[in-house]
Amino acid sequence: SEGNARKLVFVHGYNVSFDDAARRAAQISYDIGFTGQPMAFSWPSRAALTGYFDDEKAIAASVPAMLTFFRELAEQSGPGEIYVLAHSMGNRGTTLALAQLFQERPELRDRFRHILLMAPDIDAEVFKRDIAPVFARQDDQITLYASANDKALQASRLVHGGPRLGQADPIAILPGIESIDASQVSTDLLGHSYYAEGSSVVSDLVEVVSERGPAAS
């Protein structure tokens, strides 16, 4: 059936093992009642709190593999069958790979129904300047979720010396991308995993994948 042809791809962030990525993909699919095939793209995180800089190198090196994965998945899918949910550092590889795919194979863009950027640990200015003009388009369904209370991204900002895309201070407003401020969502101590723990965000995702309407503002 049409519902069963849909795919939900979860791309994990920093400090996540293969097993945890698979479990999170399954849990998200269950929580939002996704009627289709859940899957996870697992890149080689060290799965350790001390592995941040190694994870940065790993996600950068994973972009060619992610490009191949998304291209092959799109080639095997019909229009609007693919949903992508990327979290934290996983957004770096996801957005770069999809931007490259959309440049090289523009006919595959319509295979992606909705792309969800959750708490992206990406340099905000680099994204606005280099990625968004290629990645986003007015008729694409792309949603950015950001929070001013994300302590993990606050730490990343100190490390990198510049604001991260997933911070809402202020939230990034970009053509072709819907921006959702999740600052009021009650979640873990770091405020970085609200995609899985914040009930209002989960409800919002239910609306998105059920096609009952756009993301709530």
Cα–Cα distances (Å) from 95 to 51, 58, 126, 134, in that order, read 22, 15, 12, 10
Helix (H) or strand (E) holding 207: helix 199-209
For position 2, what pLDDT does the model report?
Answer: 52
Rounding to the nearest 10 degrees, give the CA dihedral for residues 161, 117, 85, 58.
-20
pLDDT over 70 (residue 189): no
Asked whether the predicted pLDDT for residue 103 surpasses 60, the reply is yes
Q: What is the pLDDT of residue 182?
A: 81
pLDDT tens readout for residues 146-173: 888 888 888 899 999 999 999 877 888 8
Answer with the residue of higher pLDDT: 161 or 202: 161
